């Protein structure tokens, strides 16, 4: 058995060298462990990304449009978001650990980034060129070219108040007072500009941001817009846009064929959330050689009773392609006024052969 004391150095220089060697070995081990962790995180994120892409391809190929599939894809995207963030964090940690050792830093393989859109304005910032050569000090410099590094930046949202001045004039001859008319506002007694109203509506209906959250976010930006004020503007905009909805409704219901479907949507109720429905009717004659512009008509309801599609399609006469929901059945009866609709079944809800069931 070897005595431990025989392995210890007998002078200060040897002891210092041993300490430095042990420290280098420890740093190398830490760097290797960090690189291994980064590689594992990268592999996990890559697997999640590939699974998500496979599910999206399957959905496009085999037409599975179920709500369960949609929620599954959303959950996979959220999981991928967390895994990608963890992988980037572990990669940076591995790079920091590799700086103090001889271990090569781990670098993730990222998909190629698309170039920035051409329509974005470019702000050219030119770094001042040296007045003399940094090597020999000569001032005889000739430009050979330039390298451009593009950085995507955003200008924070800015609020402003537009003051429309209407001067009053008095006629010295007839003593009448004249003044230009007040500026037009989308809503009666409105104070909000069209861009602000469009942003509020898009946040609520396009991004599913409730008005109370919008009010809180605006308050953090120094703008006091209460919930009741925002709700009043939304109601006024809905009334102003109603004629536009009527035009879309007339255009869609005048089609020869429609694609109808409904999907669930949470609707607020007293002390709870109800499961409502969004009814969608699509007019798109482009696959059939039609020249009419495509359009989509939406309705909302708190339930799925058959009275809703009957009311929505009361004036429609043509072909309706939909699933096998029994609520559409009264539309196909011979006793319907002004006449029965022609039924076209949906291929996406057709029976799937056993050879494809494992792929759907």
**Domain boundaries along the sequence of the chain:** 14-99, 169-245, 254-357
Is residue 162 scored above 70 in pLDDT? Answer: yes
Strand pairing partners for 258?
320
**Average pLDDT for 185-194:** 83
DSSP 281: E
Taking only the tens place, the pLDDT of each residue in 113-153 is 788 889 999 999 998 888 898 889 888 888 888 888 888 88
Q: Which residues on adjacent β-strands are paired with residue 276?
A: 265
Kindly indicate the confidence band of residue 351, based on its pLDDT and cuts at 50, 70 and 90: low
CB of 279 closer than 8 Å to CB of 260: yes
Positive or negative, the CA dihedral 316, 321, 322, 323 is positive
Written as six digits, the tokens of 59 are 């959905």
Contacts of 277 (CB under 8 A, 6+ apart): 262, 263, 264, 265, 300, 301, 302, 303, 304, 308
pLDDT score of 354: 47
Q: By the 8 A CB rule, do 132 and 141 touch?
A: yes
Confidence at residue 308, expressed as pLDDT on a 0 to 100 scale: 94
Q: Please provide the average confidence, as pLDDT, over all residues in the chain.
A: 83
The two three-digit tokens of residue 227, written as one number: 């919930």
Higher pLDDT, 204 or 103: 204
Q: How far apart are CA 282 and CA 260, in angstroms?
A: 7
Q: How far apart are CA 318 and CA 342, in angstroms?
A: 6
Name the strand (E) or helix (H) holding 106. none
Other Cβ atoms closer than 10 A to 344: 13
Closest of 315, 185, 297, 194 to residue 247, by C-alpha: 297
- What is the model's pLDDT at position 244? 94
Query: In the predicted model, is pLDDT for residue 328 greater than 50?
Result: yes
The tokens describing 275, both together, are 């499961």
Please tell me the predicted confidence (pLDDT) of residue 356: 44
Q: What is the mean pLDDT of residues 105-116?
A: 72
* pTM of this structure: 0.66
Q: What whole-number percentage of the chain has pLDDT above 70?
A: 87
Numbers of helices and strands, H then E, in the chain: 7, 7
What pLDDT digit, counting tens, does each position of 282-319 carry? 999 888 788 889 999 999 999 999 999 999 999 999 99
Do residues 107 and 94 make contact, with C-beta atoms less than 8 angstroms apart?
no
Q: Which residues sit opposite 295 in a β-bridge?
A: 283
């Amino acid at each position: 058995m070897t005595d431990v004391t025989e392995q210890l150095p007998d002078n200060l220089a040897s002891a210092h060298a041993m300490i430095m060697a042990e420290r280098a070995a420890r740093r190398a081990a830490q760097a290797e462990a960090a690189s291994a962790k980064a590689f594992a995180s990268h592999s996990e994120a890559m697997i999640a990304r590939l699974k998500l892409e496979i599910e999206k391809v399957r959905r496009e190929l085999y037409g599975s449009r179920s709500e369960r599939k949609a929620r599954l894809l959303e959950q996979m995207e959220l999981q991928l978001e967390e895994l990608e963030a963890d992988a980037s964090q572990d990669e940076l940690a591995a790079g920091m650990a590799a700086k103090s050792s001889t271990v090569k830093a781990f670098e993730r393989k990222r998909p190629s980034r698309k170039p920035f859109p051409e329509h974005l304005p470019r702000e050219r910032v030119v770094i001042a060129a040296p007045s003399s050569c940094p090597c020999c000090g000569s001032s005889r410099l000739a430009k050979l070219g330039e390298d451009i590094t593009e950085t995507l930046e955003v200008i924070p949202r800015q609020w402003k108040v537009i003051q429309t001045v209407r001067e009053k004039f008095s006629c010295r001859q007839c003593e009448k007072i004249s003044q230009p008319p007040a500026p037009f506002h989308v809503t009666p007694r409105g104070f909000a500009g069209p861009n602000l109203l469009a942003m509020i509506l898009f946040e609520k209906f396009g991004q599913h941001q409730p008005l109370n959250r919008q009010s809180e976010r605006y308050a953090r930006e120094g703008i006091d817009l209460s919930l009741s004020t925002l709700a009043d503007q939304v109601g006024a905009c809905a009334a102003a846009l109603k004629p536009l909805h009527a035009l879309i409704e007339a255009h869609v219901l005048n089609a020869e064929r429609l694609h109808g479907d409904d999907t669930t949507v949470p609707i607020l109720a007293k002390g709870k959330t109800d499961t409502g429905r969004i009814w969608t009717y699509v007019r798109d004659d482009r696959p059939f050689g039609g020249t009419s512009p495509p359009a989509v008509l939406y309705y909302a309801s708190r339930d799925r009773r058959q009275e809703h599609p009957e009311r929505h399609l009361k004036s429609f006469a043509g072909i309706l392609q939909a699933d096998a929901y029994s609520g559409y059945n009264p539309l196909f009866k011979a006793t319907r006024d002004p006449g029965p609709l022609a039924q076209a079944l949906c291929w996406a809800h057709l029976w799937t052969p056993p050879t494809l069931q494992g792929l759907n």
